[in-house]
Amino acid sequence: MREGRQRLDKWLWFARFAKTRTLAAKLVADGAVRVNGVRAEAPAKLVGTGDVLTIAARHVTAVVRVVAPGERRGPAPEARLLYEDVGRDDAALVTNPGTG
């Protein structure tokens, strides 16, 4: 695995967007997660610092920028340090530059 990158399902679990890693993988498999505007096809997709994720989970729809890979699934305040909320209004963050 490349330095500073982490599996998408593991990152979603560490950042507390899913209660279990299995549910995180299911979110990805169900098409509820986009990485830099492109639907993630596999839970094993690597994400790293600067990637923008759009997560349409049952309890939240969020657009976040990855700040760091996680090292463990800690308490919620620790999990919030893994990302910054970029909101839903900045379409340029999640639009593929080649498609306008």
Distance between CA 43 and CA 97 in Å, rounded? Answer: 24
Where do the domains of the chain lie, and which CATH numbers do they carry? 5-87 (3.10.290.10)
49-64 burial, b at 16+ Cβ within 10 Å, e below that, comes to eebbbbbebeeeebbb
The distance of Cα 54 from the centroid of its chain, to the nearest Å, equals 7
Instruction: State mean pLDDT over 27-47.
Output: 96
pLDDT at residue 100, as a whole number = 46
| pLDDT mean across residues, the chain | 87
From first CA to last CA, the distance across the chain in angstroms is: 32
* pTM of the predicted model over 0.85: no
Quickly list H helices, 1-100. 8-14, 21-29, 76-79
Kindly report, residue by residue over 41-85, the tens digit of the pLDDT: 999 999 999 999 999 977 778 999 999 999 999 999 999 999 999
